[in-house]
Amino acid sequence: MRALITGCEGFLGANLARELIKQGHEVTGTSLNRQGKTSLEALGVDCRIEYGDVTDAQFVERVISTSEPDWVFHLAAVSIVRVANTSPGRTMNVNIQGTVNILDACKFFGVSKVLTASSDKAYGDHNGAPYVEDMPLKPTGAYEVSKACADMIGQFYNAIVLRCANIYGCGDLNWSRLIPNSCRLALNGESPRIYGGAVNAKREWMHVSDAVSAYIHLAKTGLPGAYNVGTGEQASPLEVAEMITGITGTKMPGLVEKEREFYEIPEQVLNCDKMHGLGWQSKYSIANGLLETVEWYREYLQ
C-alpha cells in the first residue's frame, strides 16, 4: 500500500512511518518545516518528505495528487496543550482548517482510507467515568476544542477517527512533555519537574508502539467512525515521574513547577471495547513501556 502521513517528522508520525516501511508499505510524509533534530532522524527512518502547511489547500492537493495514497494518516496538528492555549487562533486554523483541507482533498482524489488523530481530551470532564465513543464531547481549552471540532469534521467526512490516550515512548524529542523531560533529567541525576495543577491528575498512558499498531489495524480493518485507543491503565504525572526515577535510580525530592494557568481534567480513562471487538489489544504495560523508553533515551542522549 501507499501511505501518506501528515506531521511525519513528529513523534507519532515517525514511529508510524517506521512500522509501515518495515511492513513493506511505501510512505510519503509531510512536515511544516525542518527545524533541528526530528523524530524521523532519531529513529533512523528514511522516507520522502514534502514540506508545507496543511492549512495551504493547494499544497495539500498537490501532495495527495502526486503521492496517490491508499491510506492517509492525518497527524499534523498543534499538539502541545500549553502552546495551543497560548495561540488559540493558530491552533484552530491548523487543527480544524488543516483537517478540512486534508479530508476535502482525500474525497476529491478518492483516497480509500483516511485516519485522523483526535484525543481523549476531546471528551472533557465526565467525573471520572470511562469514556465511551457515544459520550458527548465537552471540551474546555483551545486544544480540546480544536480536537473535538476536528473529530466531528472527520466523522462528517466518513474518516476513521482515533481518540488516543497520552502517548509516550521512543523518539519523542519534545522536551516540554513530562516523560521525555523526566527521562532526560533523571538520566542526568536530576529530579523531574511536574506542573502543580497536574501532579495528582489521573491519566491513561499508552506506549507509541501500541498507538502505531492501532492505526495500522484500523487502516486494514476499520470502518468510518470514532475509536477509543488506550490501555485502561492510569497513573498520575507524579507516579509516572516516580517510576522513571525508580528505573534510573535517581533521588526524587518532589520538585513541583508553578501551577498551570489552564484547567486540568482530574481523571481520564478510555473504554476500548470497540477496538477490542476488532481484535486489537494493547501490549505494553506502563511499567514495561517506561523501562523500554528510559533505555532508549539513555542510548540516544549518550
Per the structure, the count of domains in the chain is 1
pLDDT at 249 (0 to 100): 93
Residue 263: the pLDDT is 75
Tally Cβ neighbours within 10 Å of residue 24: 7
Residue 195 lies in a domain: no
108 within some domain: yes
Q: Distance of CA 64 to CAs 45, 56, 77, Å?
A: 21, 13, 18
* 257 in any annotated domain: no
* Mean of per-residue pLDDT scores for the chain: 94
> Which residue range(s) make up the domain with 39?
2-171+207-232+269-283
Residue 181, domain member (yes or no): no
Which grid coordinates belong to 31?
A: 512536515
pLDDT band at 261 (very low <50, low <70, confident <90, very high): low
pLDDT, tens only, 215-246: 999 999 999 999 999 999 999 999 999 999 99
75 touches 215 (CB < 8 A): no
Of the pLDDT bands very low, low, confident and very high (cuts 50, 70, 90), residue 81 is: confident
| CB distance 136 to 199 below 8 Å | no
Q: Which of 143, 157, 227, 297 is catalytic?
A: 143
pLDDT at residue 287 above 70? yes
Q: Enter the C-alpha cell of residue 235.
A: 497513573
For the whole model, what pTM was predicted? 0.96
> Which amino acid is residue 203, in one-letter code?
R
**Residue 81 placed within a domain:** yes
Catalytic annotation present for 143: yes
Residue 301 lies in a domain: no
Q: What are the tens digits of pLDDT across the range 44-63?
A: 999 999 999 999 999 999 99
Looking at residue 123, what DSSP letter applies? G
Give residue 82's pLDDT: 82
Quick check: 160 and 224 in contact, CB under 8 A? yes
Mean pLDDT of 182-202: 87
- In CATH, what number is assigned to the domain containing residue 11? 3.40.50.720
CB 205 within 8 A of CB 232: no
Is position 144 within any domain? Answer: yes
Quote the Cα angle for 114-115-119, to 5°: 150
- On whether residue 298 sits in a domain, the answer given is no
